[in-house]
């Protein structure tokens, strides 16, 4: 939802900062991994963390040239909305197994799915419009997911333990006691 608010408020700047943040998410853990290798792992005979180096360079690339990735990111985020809409629809279909689901609950997931398709099919027509659509859809997705979680949380039914009548051993006829 936070990403959605940022995209609606500052659609042009938010996407650039989002790419930079993704770059930082690649860069920082990789940097710690490489520093750890050079401080300790090298002495212990550990293999060089080549994946960490690749992640570090990719994160640096994302942070240095975010504009290059903005176009690619629109396709990725559009696909995320499509999958999010499908996921919510499937959750509602599954919830029908244990409760009634009104048709109105399907409206928002279908709109989210359609918004994702619009972003995928027309990401650059008007640069701000897909970002705003993506932002509003992200906010709606977050809200409907919270509503669905609260409304359709599967409740564990407590099973009642049935205790049958037991005849004490002392009361049994003598031929059954042996």
pTM of structure = 0.49
User: Closest Cα to residue 62, out of 15, 128, 12?
Assistant: 15
Q: Residue 102: inside a domain, yes or no?
A: yes
Total domains in the chain come to 1
Q: How many helices (H) and strands (E) does the chain have?
A: 7, 0
In this structure, is residue 56 part of a structural domain?
yes
Asked if residue 167 is part of any domain, the answer here is: no
**Structural domain includes residue 18:** yes
In this predicted structure, what is the pLDDT of residue 115?
Answer: 84
Look over the chain and give the mean of its residue pLDDT values, rounded to a whole number.
Answer: 80
- Per-residue pLDDT of 116-133, as tens digits, reads 888 888 776 545 676 777
Gap between the Cα atoms of 40 and 23, Å rounded: 26
pLDDT per residue as tens digits for the range 57-71: 999 999 998 888 877
Length of the chain: 178
Q: How confident is the model over 145-167, as pLDDT tens digits? A: 888 888 877 665 666 767 676 66
Predicted local distance difference test score (pLDDT) of residue 126: 46
Which domain does 90 fall in, by range? 2-153
Is 158 a domain residue?
A: no
The pLDDT, as a whole number, for residue 128 is: 65
Q: Is 89 inside any structural domain?
A: yes
Domain assignment present for residue 99? The answer is yes
Distance in angstroms (rounded) separating the CA atoms of residues 162 and 20: 61
Q: Is 171 among the domain residues? A: no
């Amino acid at each position: 939802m936070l990403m959605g608010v940022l995209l609606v408020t500052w659609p042009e700047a938010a996407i650039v900062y989002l790419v930079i943040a993704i770059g930082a998410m690649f860069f920082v853990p990789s940097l710690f991994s490489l520093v750890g290798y050079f401080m300790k792992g090298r002495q212990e005979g550990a293999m060089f963390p080549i994946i960490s180096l690749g992640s570090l360079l990719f994160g640096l690339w994302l942070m240095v040239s975010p504009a290059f990735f903005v176009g690619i990111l629109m396709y990725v985020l559009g696909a995320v909305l499509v999958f999010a809409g499908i996921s919510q629809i499937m959750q509602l279909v599954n919830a029908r197994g244990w409760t009634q689901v009104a048709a109105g609950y399907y409206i928002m997931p279908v709109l989210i799915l359609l918004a994702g398709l619009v972003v995928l099919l027309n990401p650059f027509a008007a640069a701000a419009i897909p970002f705003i659509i993506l932002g509003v859809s992200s906010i709606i997705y977050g809200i409907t997911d919270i509503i669905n979680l609260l409304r359709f949380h599967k409740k564990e039914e407590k099973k009642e333990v049935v205790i049958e009548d037991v005849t004490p051993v002392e009361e049994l006829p003598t031929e059954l006691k042996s």
